[in-house]
């Protein structure tokens, strides 16, 4: 009878220990998952912001450069005296249209690469630090 009570008590203790261990492991995994998700989202948001700041700066630089070229062209047209000089300027800018188109295509390609780079960096898996035991 005593052995039965002792065995029953021992079984209850082991079951309680197993349940406590299971609860502790569940909490550790839940904490690790939560911490990992926070770190991943913080990393992704940071990379996203940094990448789009770079893209915005690139677009701003290109826009300023393009507007300066337009204003320079208008200034030359307004400063041109005789009709012959205006026609020569127009012919010169028609010849430079190919260069402007190539610059535009280069800029769009560069922006596309920047968007892809941001996407790659944001979606890159994060290596989580190992937890101390």
pLDDT digits (tens, 9 = 90+) for 54-73: 888 988 998 888 888 888 87
Beta-carbon count within 10 A of 61 CB: 11
Stretch 102-110: mean pLDDT:
89
For residue 103 the two structure tokens come to: 């610059």
Neighbours of 76 (CB within 10 A): 14
Look at 31-35, 42-46, 88-92, 106-110 and tell me which has the smallest mean pLDDT.
Answer: 31-35
For residue 58, give every residue at least 6 positions away whose Cβ sits within 8 Å of its Cβ, in sequence order, or none: 107, 110, 111, 114
pLDDT digits (tens, 9 = 90+) for 1-14: 677 777 777 778 87
- Residue pair 60/116 in contact by the 8 Å Cβ criterion: no
Tokens for 106? 């280069």
Would you say 104 and 84 are in contact if contact means Cβ atoms under 8 Å apart? no
The Cα 104–Cα 95 span in angstroms is: 15
Q: Does 43 score more than 80 pLDDT?
A: no
Residue 126: per-residue pLDDT? 60
Which tokens sit at 49?
């912001």
pLDDT top residue among 118 and 129: 118
Look at residue 132 in the predicted model and tell me its pLDDT: 54
pLDDT of residue 37: 61
* Residue 91, pLDDT score: 81
């Amino acid at each position: 009878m005593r052995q039965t009570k002792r065995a029953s008590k021992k079984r209850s203790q082991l079951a309680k220990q197993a349940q406590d261990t299971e609860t502790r492991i569940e909490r550790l995994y839940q904490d690790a998952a939560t911490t990992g998700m926070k770190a991943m989202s913080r990393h992704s948001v940071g990379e996203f912001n940094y990448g789009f700041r770079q893209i915005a700066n690139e677009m701003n630089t290109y826009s300023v450069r393009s507007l300066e070229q337009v204003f320079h062209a208008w200034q030359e047209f307004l400063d041109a005296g005789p009709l012959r000089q205006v026609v020569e300027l127009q012919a010169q800018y028609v010849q430079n249209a190919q260069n402007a188109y190539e610059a535009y295509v280069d800029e769009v390609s560069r922006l596309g690469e920047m968007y892809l780079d941001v996407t790659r960096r944001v979606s890159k898996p994060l290596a989580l630090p190992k937890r101390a035991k």
